[in-house]
Chain A
Amino acid sequence: MQISFGETEEFKKVTLGGRLDSIGVGKIEAQFSAGVVAGGRSTMVDLTEVDFLASLAVRMLISTARSLSTKGGKLVMFGANPEVTDTIETMGFDDIVPLALSEHEALALLRS
């Protein structure tokens, strides 16, 4: 499981890679949550290199988005492959943590 943080002038960007399963989430959850919430800036989560996503990852994403929202920030995901998209849409949590097709679309959502 890989995680890296970047910044644009407007937003924070987190890039995840690998399997967001029980082991993968356990390895990055604290770093992800602390890194996103610190500063309260709206954040894009790049899922392009994520191969798999389980319910523990959904818990992590919702909890982090909730903490970020209390500081006025928004969390948006983008770039999920068709299988990860199937999981996200079946669970329905993209209703509250939006999933964009591209980084360009994610930026537009964060600016809206």
Chain B
Amino acid sequence: MNPPAADSPAGDGLRSSEVVGDDLVMVLNNSLASIEEGRLRMARYLGSDLTPRVVNRLEVVFEELISNVLRHGFDPGPGRSILVAVGRRPGEIQLTVEDDGRPFNPFDLAEPPPFESLETAQVGGLGVPVVRRFSTRTAYDRAPASNLWDAYVSHGARPANRVTVAIAA
């Protein structure tokens, strides 16, 4: 299957996007610009009926998951991409992020200790905990060969990290 035609102009970060069934499917490039372009496209898809609190929580989760892949999953440079699917479900918004980078389950990481003092505070690894806390469900699997990924990105049958989370709407 060929990659889909884009339903919005491609930028540095957003390679393509389209609505498949009721879900938004985006392919993001390996660049920080993808976070902002993907966020704006996601906002346009979701519309204006969500509360600011839900929108913020969704944007935090999106930012943390994508930046995590960009920083830790890939080496810098072109030729890698991230597939994102966003869908409305009864009472929640589901967000799925697939990347074909290094195997990595973010939900295996231990919770950081509570903040007790400036001297002892952990300053790294704070993104995944807030994803957990803002989500009603989280899941990870290492897909041996993702049909969705292969269809949209045409990388061939690469295994992919697939993270799915849901945020209460």
Chain A residues at the B interface, C-beta cutoff of 8 Å: 21-23, 26, 52, 54-56, 58-59, 62-63, 65-66, 69, 82-84, 86-87, 90-93, 95-97
Contacts and interface: CB of A to CB of B under 8 A. Distances in A.
Interface string B126-138: 1101100110000
Chain A interface, >50% SS class: helix
A87 B56 CA distance: 8
B23 interface: no
B116 A87 contact: no
Contacts of B124: 59
Contacts of A65: 118
Contact of B127 (A55, A92, A93): A55
Contacts of A97: 118
B27 interface: no
Interface in B113-169: 114-119, 121, 123-124, 126-127, 129-130, 133-134
Contacts of B64: 54-55
